[in-house]
Structures are given as structure tokens and as C-alpha cells.
Amino acid sequence: MVMLVGRSRARGVLLQILRCFRRFRVSPSPENYRLLHAHFTGQTPALSAALEPLLADQRLDDAQLLRLYEVFFGEARRMQEMEEAGAHLDRLSHELDREIVETGASARRFREEMAKVAERAQLSRSVEELRGLVGDMMAQVNGLIAHMGRLEQRLADTRARMADLRAKLARSREEALTDPLTGLANRRRLDRALEEAVERARAGGGVPVLLLIDVDHFKQFNDRHGHLVGDQVLKVVGQLLRSHVKDRDLVARAGGEEFAVLLRDVAPEEAVRVAERLRELVGSRRIRLRNSGETLGRVTISVGVTPYAPPEPVADWVERADEALYAAKRQGRNQVVARMAPRKTSADVQSQGQRSRAGADALASSAG
């Protein structure tokens, strides 16, 4: 990566960005400018690591830049939108409060005026005076009705704007917890779900089981066929996982080519069987390019399985699942390894390819 420093830094960064716009014929949008600016100034090393291979391979385009922008800046944008919507909602709430106060004040003024009219009516000595008082009273009533009509319309407008903002805020919050590529839960949502599952288990609820899943040899596949095809593979894997897990459970993209499945209330033996079904399901699919029809072969996954062991912290639970996952990868990939107890001395339950044993039998043999 070329990092520009010194007095000509700003001008040099601008020239680098303009060259990229011309060289790759990408649109000079604010999003693309921000992305390239962060790269050439070295602000985001992870972004540069993802962008440099595209620049070197001459395959940068608007779609690639949009994907990178969503990954590295999408969450910040959504958080800003949420903050702005929240601030606007606060302003509307204050407006609503003022209008309610104004309604009360108007009602009090009307009551005071009617009391004055009633007092004058008691003192009046002629029909003409009474007629005048009635006329004044009707004018006061009509004025109040008109004022209340205007106030009612303002309240309706404010409520409508507040409803729109609440909906926008809900969408932004959902987007902030969603992986933009796969549509699955993102790491933030996964972390929250793990904390909630641990709290329930510590309170005597069901014991959750965590599955960590890694797409085998994904880097080589990505380097060979390109990031766009790699993204499609991740989407397919994510859809398969989501469609074959119960709605009460959570499927998340934990990062890169790693996924997580949180089974909220299931026996460890059944969790192993679920992991095996997912492994077989993904491995049975062949990836085919839509444009050319070329078959790229099978994609396989490795899975680490571990139940929560109260009262351990979340970090220990995740670390144990990670150890099980990397045990599966070390032992040849395309298999499930389950670690059933917190200590490393506990036996592993292994299953590999079509020769894997059922989870219950594996657990029974390890217990013996």
C-alpha cells in the first residue's frame, strides 16, 4: 500500500484517488471517494488488506467498492442514521409535549371566560344584556372549536411523523444487527444473543449449544475465482444454514467465512446431529456460475460444537467452540468435532464425511 506523508499529503491522496477513478472507470461518488481516501491515507488497515488484491488484479468496479463500503463504513452510517432519527424523535416528542401543554392552557382560559360570562349573566338586568352575553359565549366556543381543530391537526401530523421516524429507527436498528452480504445476524447481534442465552441458562433455563462453522479452503477458492464468486458462495452457505435451522435459533455470520449457529434449547447429542445435517447439506451442493454454467465443485464446512457450561463466562464458551472448530480443521476438514466439557482433558466427539457416527453414539462412547 502506498501511504502518503509530508507537505504534499493531501494533494497526493487526491491524485491517487483520481487515478483510480480513471483507471478502473468507477463512479466518483462520495462513498467511493471516502473508501479510497481511507485506503491511501492508511486510516483502515483492514480495508487496505481487502482492497489491495483488487487493485493489483485490475478487477476493481463499483460493485466491489459498494461491498467494501458496506463492510467497513455501512455500520457507522447506520449508527449515524439512528442517532439522527433518535434526535428528531426527541424534538417531535418535545413538540408534542408543548402542544399538550397548550391544549391545557386553552381549556383553562376557556373555563375562566365561561366563569366570567356566568357571573355577568347573574348581574344582567335585561334581555339585551343576556343576548350579548350569549353572543360572547358562542364566540368563545367557536374560537375554542377552531383552535382545537388546528391543534388536533398538528397533533395528527406530529404523530404521523413520529410513527415514520420510529419505523425508520427500527429499520436502522435491524440493519445495524444484520450482515449486509448474507442477510444473517451479524457479530454484534450474535454477541448479544450469546449473553442473553447465558443469562437464561444461569437462571435455570435451557442450556444453549454453540456451533462455529468455517467454509473449508475459502481463501484459495476466493483467490482462484474472485471475490464476487466468493461472496455468492457465502450467501449460498448462509441461506442453507438459515433454512435448515429452527426459527427460535440464531444463524449469524461471525466474520469472513465463519458462521455461527446458536441452538437455544437442545440436548448436546441433538446439536451434534444438527451439525452433521448442516455439514452434509452444504457438502451436497455444487457451485455453478450463472453466466457461464461452469461448475466450480463442492463447498465443504468444518464445524465445532459445544454446549454452554454454567457458570462460565461467554468468552470461555466461545473459545471452547473455536478450539473444537480448529480441531476439525486440523484433522482434515469437512467434519464435526464436539467438545462437551469446559476442560481440555474431556473427550472429543468426532465425525468425518459419510463415515460419521450419530451424535448420541459418539457421546456415549466418549463418556465410557
Query: From CA 56, how far away is CA 41, in angstroms rounded?
Result: 18
Q: For this structure, is 257 an active site residue? A: yes
Indicate the SS3 state at residue 254.
strand
Pairwise CA distance, residues 267 & 252, whole Å: 21
Tens-digit pLDDT profile for residues 269-320: 999 999 999 999 999 988 776 666 677 778 999 999 999 999 899 999 999 9
Q: Are strands 348-352 and 335-339 parallel, antiparallel or unpaired?
A: antiparallel
For 295-359, give the secondary structure using H, E and C: EEEECCEEEEEEECCCCCCHHHHHHHHHHHHHHHHHCCCCEEEEECCCCCCCCEEEEEHHHCCCH
Mean pLDDT to the nearest integer, 149-159: 73
pLDDT number for residue 75: 61
Contact call for residues 80 and 52 (beta carbons, < 8 A): no
Other beta carbons less than 10 A from residue 28's beta carbon: 12
More confident residue, 248 or 223: 248
Confidence at 365, pLDDT banded by 50, 70, 90: very low
Residue 115: name the closest of 100, 131, 136 by CA.
136
Out of 75, 83, 99, 257, the active site residue is 257
Nearest to 49 by CA among 233, 283, 219, 198: 219
End-to-end, the C-alpha distance of the chain in Å comes to: 56
Strand pairing report for 335-339 and 301-307: parallel
Tell me phi and psi for residue 248, to 5 degrees: -70, -20
Identity of the highest mean pLDDT range in 64-73, 225-234, 241-250: 241-250
pLDDT of residue 97 exceeding 80, the answer is: no
Task: Pick left, alpha or beta for residue 333 (phi over 0 → left; psi -120 to 50 → alpha; otherwise beta).
Answer: left
In sequence order, what are the residues at sequence separation of 6 or more whose Cβ sits closer than 8 angstroms to the Cβ of residue 88?
Answer: 165
pTM listed for this prediction: 0.57
Which of 324, 195, 174, 181 minimizes the C-alpha distance to 264? 195
Place of cell 466427539: 349
CB-facing half-sphere around the CA of 223: CA atoms within 13 A: 6
State the pLDDT confidence band at 330, using cuts at 50, 70 and 90. very high
Q: Which domains does the chain have, with CATH numbers?
A: 9-72 (no CATH), 80-176 (1.10.287), 187-367 (3.30.70.270)
Helices (H), the chain: 9-24, 30-40, 45-56, 62-72, 74-123, 127-176, 187-202, 218-225, 227-243, 268-283, 314-330, 359-367
What would the mean pLDDT of 70-84 be, rounded to a whole number?
65
At 223, list the grid cell.
Answer: 483467490
